Structure 1
Amino acid sequence: MNRSVAAVGTVVLIAGMATGVASLANATPSVPSQSTAIAQANAALAAHRDAIRGADGDAYAVNRTVVDSNTGATHTRYTRTYKGLDVLGGDFVVHNAPGGSFSSATVGLTAPLRISTTAGITAEAATSAAATVFQGTLAKAGAPTLVVDATAEGAAVLAYEVTLSGVKADQTPSELHVIVDANSGAVRGSSDEVKQVTGTGKSLYSGTVSIDTTPSYSMVDPVRGNGTTCDLNNGTSTCTTFTDADNTWGSGTTADRASAGVDAHYGAAKTFDYFKNVHGRNGIFGNGTGVKSRVHYGNNYVNAFWDGAQMTYGDGNGKPLVAIDVAGHEMGHGITENIIPGGLTYSGESGGLNESASDIWGNMVEFYAASAADPGDYNVGEKIDINGNGTPLRYMYDPKKDGASKNCWYNGVGNVDVHYSSGVGNLAYFFLAEGSGNTAYGTAPLCAGGTTVTGVGRAKAEKIWYRAMDVYFTSSTKYVATGTNDARAATLSAATDLYGLCSAEYKTVQDAWKGVAVTGEDAPCGGTPTASPTVSPTAGTCGAVTNGTDVAIPDNTTVSSSVVIAGCAGNASATSQVEVHIVHTYIGDLVVSLIAPDGSAYVLHNRAGGSTDNINQTYTVNLSTEARNGTWKLQVQDAAALDTGKIDTWTLTL
């Protein structure tokens, strides 16, 4: 068992991941309904409260459930309260294996909550402290609410959450949530509901495009949940939906106010289509509802923002900020906050990940749109020319090129502006998709300690990142965290789900994070497994063979035991069986896989069972795509320290 807190982050989170992969699943899975999945998750939660750092006084509410349709594994998100108070950063995910048994949990808390809920300062004092951090014209301070703040490293504290409403100096509306220590009065942090990108527009970007409107020629998209696009007429409140006499919109210049509307409407449509067609998500909100897009906001307003419900674009210095990667970026914030309860906290490393995710989605939407006028790249906001010299807002392939963003993780990167700490995630994603060094999109430099990365391509990278957010990120996920709640672990888990533990994709995720100085204790892939005897079936027993030779399983080592099937024509059965007997204390350290002759991995046991001793189980596996003949291996990985054992015997029946 690995008892090093710092090292647990990645390996613990790997537990139960592979149950979401078709090739790793049991045969003919039973896929539960949403209600059954929730009931099973609730039962698992009740039996494993220690896994989510449960405490007396806790209460939990289901936020959403993801059911893997190919295996029946489930991932149920919960929010948490403590003695009736919301716990910021207390959300978690319960992962259940096919059949409904508990597999693992993703949780931000490092210990159960044990704090007093009696405040040491008044609500009025908290409001005064919060007001000191608001920059702009403050219109209203909401009534302070007592909460438990568990978003930061270290012990959770009782705090006041104060919401300050107003307008920043640049006309951006602000809904600033300020967290004030309820005993000391110190401001612990703040985050704004309004997510934005600062820029100056120079032109319209979409060119001639097709947009969906209503038969009455209103700029309402009936194909995508009736998303509307409207004209604020350089105000900030009343917005009039664009209409047209002949369904030919705009002129491609700012002389026609509808031109900006075309870009915004097109951007909303392509973002909707991208998430639906690539990731299977039914729009930003997940329910098919379209997005409202407002253009011509304010007076020469040089920003665009997402406010939790809609998109808003300013005109900049005479040119609207409606480039498609800006649209995808801002609506990407909507994706984040609708997948994760409350979104990724918009401060510290979590805020950097939030901005990084939006940069990723903005550029992936741009690639998806495949516009000749604005082809896909890894620059952020390159068309709006915010610097006035043709340079983009950010560079994903080399973030430091903008003069402020960070390429490499270091202890303290969470203290810089979230738009700049996003560079760590941006570069890691670029490495994953395109690789390091000279690429078609620019030269991507490695951080100290990094090794050359060969990318897996955008199609796989975007799937891995979305899966990580969808079922493993919590609101307080960071690049590096004490415990299980870090982005490296989440993306490795996603790669395991999609492509298999220690797959090429898994190893590339490892290399990508290493390239930005984010390391961890992961599955020790790539080494030479400890050799073990090979056994062939006896005559007349085609497809059933046992290897009973003991194989030692040292700490942090991968070993294997082999059997050879010969003279057995055809493919294996959809209900093939692997009977496994392993002697080992603390089986939560182990990952047990069946390796087919072609190298395909079928994970049988993945860090489940905690401190239970020994594995004595028969697994049913769908091997119908695998030829019987060849060398089959039972591979056992000890992914932690302090507990050892041996492969005692195993039997393969094809």
Structure 2
Amino acid sequence: MRKFLAVASVAVTAAAFVATAASSGAAAPSGAAGKASSVGATAASISASAADGYTVKRVVKDANGAAHTRYNRTYQGLRVSGGDFVVHSAPGGAFTGASNGLASPLTLSITPKISAGTAMATATTYFAGTITTTGSTELFVDATSGSGRLAWESVVNGWAADGQTPSKLHVVTDAVTGAHIGKFDEIETVAGTGNGIYTGAVSIDTTLSGSTYSMIDPVRGSGRTCDMNNGTSTCTTFTDADNAWGTGSNSNRQSAGVDAHFGAAKTFDYYLNVHGRNGIFGNGTGVPSRVHYGSAYVNAFWDGAQMTYGDGSGNAKPLVSLDVAGHEMSHGVTEALAGLTYSAESGGLNEATSDIFGNMVEFYANAPSDPGDYQVGEKIDINGNGTPLRYMYNPSLDGSSHSCWSTSTKNVDVHYSSGVANHFFFNLAEGTGATSYGTSPVCGSAPAVVGIGRAKAEKIWYRALDVNFTSSTAYVNTSTPANNARLHTLAAATFLYGSCSAEYKAVQAAWTAVNVASTDTACPVGNDFSLAASPASGSVNPGSAVTSTITATLTNGSAQTVTLSASGLPSGATAGFSPASITSAGGTSTLTISTTAATPAGTYAVTVTGTGASSTRTTTYSLTVNGAPGCTGTNGNDVAIPDNTTVTSTIVISGCNRNASATSSVPVTIYHTYKGDLVVSLVAPDGSVYTLSNRAGGSADNIIQTFTVNLSSEAANGTWTLRVQDAATADTGRIDTWSLTL
């Protein structure tokens, strides 16, 4: 998806979707429970329909073994825009919740009353500029509002009104009434030595071939920087004889290239070193940077694969500053992670994410000539009076952005609705009132906020984007109240720093300060504490022991004595604490879990409980007891399958240092009096789900069968889970034994 920086001189065409609700407060249709079970969730948590289909987009696995699997949704075979969801599971695979954008299961006809040709004809009337070609028209379900309606999405290609900005306009038309729903553009605006226009003297990594240096970065996936020569098609990679690039003056064409090359490198390094993401796409590849685009082109854009920079008014101010580079390339990260829809409040969150990380790249780079400052585009002087495009500490200073949320925020351009999240982030990092970067006002009578620092704030935002946001997340969501940025960032703060920690409370306060009201549970007011295990997971061979440090942190009131205990241990395992009691104000104890030779292999969620005079808190330690080394394993422990219940059984593979094979075998023996009730799935260590049997076999008894599965994309080592769901009433059974040969 392409994204522009967006400046006053360029028309922005991203109108908000206004999808209306299809019917339905009804319960999920028959079969929905089975669909939900196939992804390890409940039907209600993901608004499942029997006509749904789900595909895995990506899996995030935490250090303790918890997993977060992001799915795309189809309905009767049609793509569902806004139907994506994330299934959260605990170590060992137990379902813990979901992030979901739908208000209720989809129930609509997929027969259009408006033809594709009519929809395309309508779409062309919304194109402002010169049309070169018309693309596809796709029938899909628009559920960006939380409810579904049948729609056509038509693509019109050409040039925007300025004649230089490429445009790939998507127009959405109601497939039943012919009404215009909305539109958005894929173009979303905005170790040698070099001397850049904005960054000054910096080091850049280049490639030597023969006696010629090329501006190709061998350290960061061969990202290249090239010269468009003020055209719109051909781009020539910069070369140089002595590896000294640019003069710092715009009159030297290499100078803008130095800034762009440096910006791409620092953005790559920022995501890798701060968030553990290997490049914009997460695969280690670099991105091309195209400079000197067009003539007097006052914009920069990301087109889904590369960066493009104009030279500004009079070709005098190339838009190659650090924060612009970080901003535009961060659109690629957002698209790969949450895919925030580029309209209404989700579009504001999309733009804010780019502003946030663009500024964090600027702070990370720490270039003396372009220090971090919480302003957007302050170096490129698009306004012509030395002012930036946007101010994160007080967004309304630009005359258009919203500093405080209101019911009208969803109706303004996404570059202006971004102000609410930008203001939140500044308050979270730096606090309200007078700061070193500017004065941040609170909205209404909200209390002042004390910042927690950039390092913590940026990690909270990235975590929320990575595992909590969906494509339709908003500031305030009336159709799906839980799908809002406040709750999702609080979930991120809980994961990183603990529920009701100082960081958690700062997130609450920072949202309140921008008028995004409380939708979360208040933190306790009495004496309270939190517990944490470090590390939160570990593996042990049978007959050996493993340790972890348990820490109690005061979250409210006065300290108390906390007595520690453990539960959920496998047979033959014991837990001991040294000391057995600690203070809630930072006390620590060493947890030692000892096993015997007979302790069965598997992954177990061990609950550590701290009991105090005023409150009791728990934390979870994920214990993996290794199986015998090799690429095979068996679990012969019986697991009862009660009626209408999902159960699991695990096998731990260790010492198999390769991927599983394309012909992996899974022999299964399940005794059940009606095997047509059963959904049987194999869950890989990374959370990927492989369905072995989905209510097949009718009224016959038992599943005694060897399944052959292509698991070649999966690492063999880890905990494999056999998940069995009884999806209908009246019959029960048990998992007798199962094996795995990888």
For residues 390-417 of structure 1, give each alpha carbon's deviation from its aligned partner in whole angstroms, at most 9, with x where no partner exists.
1100000000000000011111211101
Counterpart CA distance in 1 for 2:363 and 2:528 is 44
Query: Which is strand-richer, 1 or 2?
Result: 2
Q: Which residue number corresponds to residue 479 of structure 1?
A: 475
Counterpart CA distance in 1 for 2:581 and 2:61 is 26
- Counterparts of 1:143-292 in structure 2, within 5 Å, are 143-153=136-146, 155-170=147-162, 171-197=164-190, 204-216=197-209, 217-292=213-288
Q: For residue 313 of structure 1, give the secondary structure of its aligned residue in structure 2.
A: strand
Percent identical among aligned pairs is: 59
Give the letter for the 1:98 counterpart: P
Kindly tell me: are residues 499 and 303 of structure 1, through their superposed partners in 2, closer, same or farther at Cα, counting changes over 3 Å?
same
Deviation at 1:527?
1.6
Kindly tell me: are residues 184 and 213 of structure 1, through their superposed partners in 2, closer, same or farther at Cα, counting changes over 3 Å?
same
Unaligned 5+ segments in structure 1 are: 1-40, 198-202, 532-557, 566-571, 581-593, 603-617, 637-654
Deviation at 1:143?
2.4
Kindly tell me: are residues 115 and 219 of structure 1, through their superposed partners in 2, closer, same or farther at Cα, counting changes over 3 Å?
same
Counterpart CA distance in 1 for 2:173 and 2:587 is 50
Q: For residue 307 of structure 2, give the secondary structure of its aligned residue in structure 1.
A: strand
* Greater relative contact order (CA < 8 Å, ≥ 6 in sequence): 1
Q: Which residue number corresponds to residue 432 of structure 2?
A: 436
Q: Which residue number corresponds to residue 584 of structure 2?
A: 598
Q: Which residue number corresponds to residue 71 of structure 2?
A: 78
Kindly tell me: are residues 522 and 629 of structure 1, through their superposed partners in 2, closer, same or farther at Cα, counting changes over 3 Å?
closer
Counterpart CA distance in 2 for 1:295 and 1:138 is 25
Counterpart CA distance in 1 for 2:87 and 2:202 is 44
Question: Are the counterparts in 1 of residues 568 and 607 from structure 2 also a CA contact under 8 Å?
Answer: no
Q: Which residue number corresponds to residue 583 of structure 1?
A: none
Give the letter for the 1:164 counterpart: V
For residues 556-585 of structure 1, give each alpha carbon's deviation from its aligned partner in whole angstroms, at most 9, with x where no partner exists.
xx99998765xxxxxx7xxx50589xxxxx
Q: 1:495 is matched with which residue: 493, 496, 510?
A: 493
Q: Which residue number corresponds to residue 331 of structure 2?
A: 333
Counterpart CA distance in 1 for 2:102 and 2:509 is 27
Counterpart CA distance in 1 for 2:611 and 2:518 is 38
The higher radius of gyration belongs to 2
Counterpart CA distance in 2 for 1:530 and 1:508 is 17
Kindly tell me: are residues 247 and 619 of structure 1, through their superposed partners in 2, closer, same or farther at Cα, counting changes over 3 Å?
closer
Question: Are the counterparts in 2 of residues 563 and 632 from structure 1 also a CA contact under 8 Å?
Answer: no
Kindly tell me: are residues 564 and 394 of structure 1, through their superposed partners in 2, closer, same or farther at Cα, counting changes over 3 Å?
closer
For residues 88-146 of structure 1, give each alpha carbon's deviation from its aligned partner in whole angstroms, at most 9, with x where no partner exists.
00000000001111010000001000000010111121112222222211222212110
Kindly tell me: are residues 285 and 313 of structure 1, through their superposed partners in 2, closer, same or farther at Cα, counting changes over 3 Å?
same
Counterpart CA distance in 2 for 1:564 and 1:225 is 51
- Are residues 1:57 and 2:51 paired? yes
For residues 299-318 of structure 1, give each alpha carbon's deviation from its aligned partner in whole angstroms, at most 9, with x where no partner exists.
11110000000000011122
Deviation at 1:621?
4.6
Kindly tell me: are residues 47 and 320 of structure 1, through their superposed partners in 2, closer, same or farther at Cα, counting changes over 3 Å?
closer
Q: 2:606 is matched with which residue: 620, 630, 636?
A: 620
Counterpart CA distance in 2 for 1:494 and 1:239 is 42
Question: Are the counterparts in 2 of residues 120 and 182 from structure 1 also a CA contact under 8 Å?
Answer: yes
Counterpart CA distance in 2 for 1:563 and 1:44 is 45
Give the letter for the 1:127 counterpart: M
For residues 587-606 of structure 1, give each alpha carbon's deviation from its aligned partner in whole angstroms, at most 9, with x where no partner exists.
xxxxxxx996234699xxxx
Kindly tell me: are residues 523 and 184 of structure 1, through their superposed partners in 2, closer, same or farther at Cα, counting changes over 3 Å?
same
Kindly tell me: are residues 306 and 47 of structure 1, through their superposed partners in 2, closer, same or farther at Cα, counting changes over 3 Å?
closer
For residues 209-235 of structure 1, give each alpha carbon's deviation from its aligned partner in whole angstroms, at most 9, with x where no partner exists.
100011221110010000011111111
Counterpart CA distance in 1 for 2:557 and 2:361 is 43
Deviation at 1:383?
0.5
Q: Which residue number corresponds to residue 552 of structure 1?
A: none
Kindly tell me: are residues 219 and 233 of structure 1, through their superposed partners in 2, closer, same or farther at Cα, counting changes over 3 Å?
same
Counterpart CA distance in 1 for 2:527 and 2:50 is 45
Question: Are the counterparts in 1 of residues 312 and 382 from structure 2 also a CA contact under 8 Å?
Answer: no
Deviation at 1:57?
1.0
Kindly tell me: are residues 562 and 458 of structure 1, through their superposed partners in 2, closer, same or farther at Cα, counting changes over 3 Å?
closer
Kindly tell me: are residues 407 and 629 of structure 1, through their superposed partners in 2, closer, same or farther at Cα, counting changes over 3 Å?
closer
Q: Which residue number corresponds to residue 634 of structure 1?
A: 616
For residues 7-41 of structure 1, give each alpha carbon's deviation from its aligned partner in whole angstroms, at most 9, with x where no partner exists.
xxxxxxxxxxxxxxxxxxxxxxxxxxxxxxxxxx9
- Are residues 1:301 and 2:297 paired? yes
Kindly tell me: are residues 214 and 530 of structure 1, through their superposed partners in 2, closer, same or farther at Cα, counting changes over 3 Å?
closer
Give the letter for the 1:522 counterpart: D
Give the letter for the 1:378 counterpart: Y
Counterpart CA distance in 1 for 2:416 and 2:456 is 25
- Larger mean CA deviation between 136-145 and 85-94 belongs to 136-145
Counterpart CA distance in 2 for 1:239 and 1:353 is 32
Counterpart CA distance in 2 for 1:97 and 1:622 is 15
Q: 1:124 is matched with which residue: 117, 127, 136?
A: 117
Query: Which is helix-richer, 1 or 2?
Result: 1
Counterpart CA distance in 1 for 2:559 and 2:206 is 63
Question: Are the counterparts in 2 of residues 325 and 381 from structure 1 also a CA contact under 8 Å?
Answer: yes
Counterpart CA distance in 2 for 1:240 and 1:399 is 38
Question: Are the counterparts in 2 of residues 502 and 523 from structure 1 also a CA contact under 8 Å?
Answer: no
Q: For residue 333 of structure 1, give the secondary structure of its aligned residue in structure 2.
A: helix
Counterpart CA distance in 1 for 2:371 and 2:436 is 13
Q: Root-mean-square deviation (CA), in Å?
A: 2.8
Counterpart CA distance in 2 for 1:471 and 1:64 is 10
Q: For residue 142 of structure 1, give the secondary structure of its aligned residue in structure 2.
A: strand
Question: Are the counterparts in 2 of residues 108 and 483 from structure 1 also a CA contact under 8 Å?
Answer: no
- Give me the TM-score of the superposition, normalised by structure 2: 0.67
Deviation at 1:483?
2.9
Counterpart CA distance in 2 for 1:52 and 1:315 is 47
Question: Are the counterparts in 2 of residues 344 and 351 from structure 1 also a CA contact under 8 Å?
Answer: yes
Give the letter for the 1:162 counterpart: S
